[in-house]
Copies of this chain bind each other. A is one copy, B any other.
């Protein structure tokens, strides 16, 4: 069995928001501050550039084998880079097919935006999906294609259903350090953060603040 990584503070990268810094620098700082997992996301990059970005992020956290590096959407990039996993959305390749390509040891995440999405994820064979990304908690400009917000009540309900079905759950969308404790209290295994870390003058301090807020809520 693969070990379950700590998803408490799950950084999702944004190349534009990280500028002028390289994404890898932001990732390194965030991990030093307490980020426990990283998802490399860049919907605008070519696959070639996304591969280079993924490798740069892997190199930035090579000293922390406990921190998984997951690739958003691009299964081929993840396979070539030897990433720890893939996160797919509802429009990306079907989770069952992705699991077959990745093998049993990879971390496979799936975005769910509704009770129906979650029910479909729970109908997949055990071991297909490891973690669902409950999305979005609140509407957010970094993912304009996401639906209306689930809100804290929606997240609480979906997280409970996911856990009952043997899946872990992280929440994403509009989470900052002011809201992190409230999200943690819904019972999720972690919070995904984009903006507050990628735009921070000091991403390490931002990660430390977010991590403290999450940990204080005692959700782990």
Contacts and interface: CB of A to CB of B under 8 A. Distances in A.
A74 B50 CA distance: 13
A100 B51 CA distance: 15
Among A48, A75, A76, A98, max chain B CB count under 10 A is at: A76
A79 B93 CA distance: 11
Contact of A80 (B47, B49, B77, B93): B93
Nearest to A47: B93
A76 B93 contact: yes
Interface of chain A, helix or strand or loop or mixed?
helix
A92 B47 CA distance: 5
A94 B77 CA distance: 10
Oligomeric state, in number of copies? 2
Contacts of A204: none
Nearest to A50: B93
A101 interface: yes
Nearest to A97: B80
A44 to B, nearest CB: 12
Contacts of A94: 48, 51
Contacts of A47: 73, 75, 91-93
A76 B51 CA distance: 13
Interface in A53-100: 73-77, 79-80, 91-94, 97-98, 100
Given A75-B76, A76-B79, A97 B46 contact: no
Contacts of A98: 76
A63 to B, nearest CB: 25
Interface of A: 46-49, 51, 73-77, 79-80, 91-94, 97-98, 100-101
